[in-house]
Amino acid sequence: MSFTVAKFGGTSVADYPSMLRCAQIVQNNPSIRLVVVSACAGVTNRLAEIADKQGKQTESLRNEIYTIHASIQQKLKSSGALELSLSQLHDELESHCQKAIANWAAWRDELLSFGERCSSLLFSCVLNEQGLLSDTLDARQLLKTNSAFGRAQPDEVSTKSHCLEQKQKLDSGCVWVTQGFIGSDDKTQTTTLGRGGSDYSAALLAAGFNATDLQIWTDVAGIYTTDPRICSSARAIAEMSFSEAAELATFGAKILHPSSLAPAIKNSIRVFIGSSQNAAAGGTYISANPTTRPDVRAVALRRNQTLVTVHSLSMLHASGFLARLFEILARYNVSVDLVTTSEVSIALTLDEGGSIANGQALLPAAALEELEQFCRVEIETGLSLVAIIGNGIGRDAHISQLTFNTVNDYAVRLICQGASEHNLCFLVEDSEGENVIRTLHDRILS
Ligand code: ADP
Ligand code: ASP
Ligand code: MG
């Protein structure tokens, strides 16, 4: 029997009309038994601002959040019980902002959780009003993580056993609505999976409940050949493989959280991405065996890259240098994306998303100090990573030629190709990133 988990992103649940469109999708598909929602659009950003200000003098931000929620609540006819639950959550948020902060990162995650807790409550009421039996489930009792606040790592085994304990509920004919993005650690403290983490939550919960299908409903009708906001000629892709989609997500396509496909791949869950604003427009099916595997599928842009170049003459004909460098980076939990080497230097890129935990610098000062004991370190910021994703990159001389012709027109800081036939990446100035994407898209995908 098919069992679908449906995830609705922030713009999909931004306001009452948007929530109604999502409710229609749920109504039309009885296999949807678990719904995962993001916070209403704009709410998490405001909560993050409140966190930066440690809750002080943030009344206007809090009021803006209450207004977003109240505008949905007011559209619901039987809103008495909802009004009470929502105002309890808002009161809790008020007192959380007044609390003395012992551990800012833990306090921040608890604060960020209010967005999803409010939107899930509201969406469940919308479903009820549309005649569906619906209730909420607290994701913190399902999705278990470590205590790395702000970027918690899920514990898939523990999550699965918590999900299976509640599995009976899902067989009861009720549509359960839960929160994306949030979980809890072994001390039941609230954690978050990192920005955009609701896709990941939905995939983890789909795996936890042994779902057959995962639907990600967003504001575009599937995965496009590039971000349609950057390039108006981008086209929706009807189907693609897990590895192509994972590469795209990793290399910056915001449409999917980079980790979200791993649980789906491991558990053979079919994935569909579509637009909640226009469900009839279709979308992208992601599977292990798509019928087509073109040489080039898409191009992606990842902004805010940092390039670290280390130089050392002692590298010349020496062994063990790379091991020493990476041992230091690993000890400081620095995540490296691209690497290129020459005889006396190594260049690597660091991504904000990969390494920043709890607001620490990308390359912690202590790590830099250790590196400087045996090499000269140069750090450049303000760069963008351009990635060409496909199945035969490097095999097709024509594509290489078109790519290098494009690259010729720009100052390229680093090129990486060869580790996999699925991608070719290079770094350009942030200010040129979008132009490079448009030019490349025109030349190799139009
Ligand atoms: P949600 O709030 O539903 O999670 P996101 O804003 O996180 O939505 O992701 C959807 C956005 O991803 C789109 O509006 C689009 O601008 C962007 N995007 C980036 N790359 C792609 C791509 N290759 N295909 C489609 N959308 C993309
Ligand atoms: N609400 C969270 C965010 O804005 C998680 C998500 O939407 O995926 O980052
Ligand atoms: Mg998203």
**Residues at CB less than 6 angstroms from ligand 1:** 9-12, 38, 196, 218-220, 223-224, 226-229, 253-255, 298
Please state, as a whole number, how many other Cβ atoms lie within 10 Å of the Cβ of residue 227. Answer: 20
Q: Would the pLDDT of 333 be above 90?
A: no
pTM of the model: 0.93
**pLDDT confidence of residue 354:** 44
- Rounded Cα–Cα distance for residues 45 and 59 (Å): 15
Residues 231-244, mean pLDDT to the nearest whole number: 95
4-218 architecture in CATH?
3-Layer(aba) Sandwich (3.40)
Among protein residues, the one with the nearest Cα to ligand 2's atom 9 is 195
pLDDT in tens, 43-96: 999 999 999 999 999 999 999 999 999 999 999 987 677 888 999 999 999 999
Alpha helices (H) along 308-385:
321-331, 352-355, 365-372
Q: Which CATH number fits domain 298-445: 3.40.630.40, 1.10.3710.10, 3.30.2130.10, 2.60.120.10?
A: 3.30.2130.10
Ligand with smallest separation from the Cα of 202: 2
Model confidence at 317, pLDDT cuts 50, 70, 90, reads: low
Q: Confirm or deny that 295 is annotated as ligand binding.
A: no
Is the CB–ligand 2 distance for residue 195 below 6 Å? yes
* 421 known member of a binding site: no
- Phi/psi of residue 213, each to 5°? -135, 145
CA distance 445 to 422: 15
What is the Cα–Cα distance from 246 to 297, expressed in whole angstroms? 12
**Distance (Å) from CA 254 to ligand 1 centroid:** 5
With a cut of 90, say whether residue 434 has pLDDT above it. yes
The residue-averaged pLDDT of 102-131 equals: 97
Q: pLDDT averaged over the chain?
A: 92
Q: Ligand 3 centre from 417 Cα, in Å?
A: 28
Are the folds of 4-218 and 298-445 the same? no
Q: pLDDT tens digits for 238-279?
A: 999 999 999 999 888 899 998 999 999 999 999 999 999 999
Using 50, 70 and 90 to split pLDDT, how confident is the model at 216? very high
- Token couple for 400: 């290489």
What residue's CA is closest to ligand 1, atom 4? 9
Domain ranges within the chain, ordered by starting residue: 4-218, 298-445
Per-residue confidence band for 360, with pLDDT thresholds at 50, 70 and 90? very low
Output the CA–CA distances (angstroms, integers) from residue 269 to 285, 422, 442, in the order listed: 11, 22, 34
What percent of the chain has pLDDT above 70?
Answer: 96
Q: Can you state the angle between helices 16-27 and 59-73, rounded to 10 degrees?
A: 50
Q: Is 290 in the pocket of ligand 2 (CB under 6 A)?
A: no
Cα distance between residue 215 and residue 212, in whole Å: 10
